[in-house]
Amino acid sequence: MKKALTYINILFFLCFFTTLAWAQTKVYISVDMEGVTGAVSGAQLGPSGFEYQRFREFMTEEVLAAIRGARAAGATEFLVSDSHGNGQNLLIDRFEKDVQIVRSWPRPLGMMGGLDESFDAAIFIGYHTSTANTRGVRAHTFSSATLTDVRLNGTSVSEAGFNAAIAGHFGVPIVMVSGDDAIVEETRAYVGDVEGAIVKWATSFHSARTLTPAAGCDVIEAAARRAIERVGELEPFRLTGDIELEISFKNYRQAEILSYLSSVERIDSHSIRYVAKDMVEASMFAQFVNNYQPGLSP
């Protein structure tokens, strides 16, 4: 009897350690561009900017650095979402063959397109502060041209905050954010004690003291490694119950016309409220508001 028990114990430990060895750690990486090392103005951020092609390379290098750091801590699978501008910034031939990339728009989950409950952690690279923050390079939420505030349950949120809540819906914790000092601070204040990779220090909306791209990658790689080592410790950022999503527009007419919908309440001249049953519905509403135009083609 005693001997049988010992065999069972040995079998149990063998199974346990084999499972550990085979455990997959699946990481989702959402990538924006305003928070990339050195990016400070439109000259780096879109196809018409004179530095854009160089900054696509720097952006790609930062994701590769995050993947290196995460792999060093045991991450095995990666989905990267190119979530800036046209969604086609990352140089996809630079990635290893086991990495997949989400490109272009529209996507129901926006900057979190492709995320589901199978992921163990999410990382934000190149992020920037919210439109409600007085600090931060290129501070805006979703659209600097059209929106002046986005609130979840009464609190102004950055894209990092909004996207952390989407990840929380799927039970996925945000473990790291990179960008300027202000977005690391804003994300920690809203989401909790995530790893932060500060690659520049905001001086103003269009100015920063920055690391070099190579030094920025070192900071990101180290932070990603620490972040994946902490996966078991960091909780998903969950908003429970109905989600009150409020959006304030720079102009008057969006709020006026959206309030024609019975599901939308106009709360002041420039703002509307929509109550969603969860963050997926809130995300889809925000995507609709930001993307719908009657003249879309094809």
> 89 or 120: whose CB is closer to Zn ion?
89
Under rule CB under 5 A, which residues in 18-77 are in contact with Zn ion? Answer: 32
- The binding track of 155-174 with respect to Zn ion, each residue x by CB under 5 A or -, is ----x---------------
Q: How far is the CB of 110 from Zn ion (least distance, A)?
A: 10
- In angstroms, what is the minimal distance from the CB of 293 to Zn ion? 20
d(C-alpha 255, C-alpha 211), whole Å? 41
Choices 60-68, 93-101, 152-160, 169-177; region in contact with Zn ion by CB under 5 A: 152-160
The yes or no reply on residue 82 touching Zn ion (CB under 5 A) is no
Residue placing its CB nearer to Zn ion in the complex, 85 or 171:
85
CB of 124 to Zn ion, least distance (A): 10
Closest residue to bound Zn ion by CB: 32
C-beta closer to Zn ion: residue 174 or 228: 174
Q: Which is nearer to Zn ion, 82 or 159 (CB)?
A: 159
The minimum distance between CB 15 and Zn ion, in angstroms, equals: 45
Size of the site for Zn ion (CB under 5 A): 2
Which residues contribute to the site for Zn ion (CB under 5 A)? 32, 159
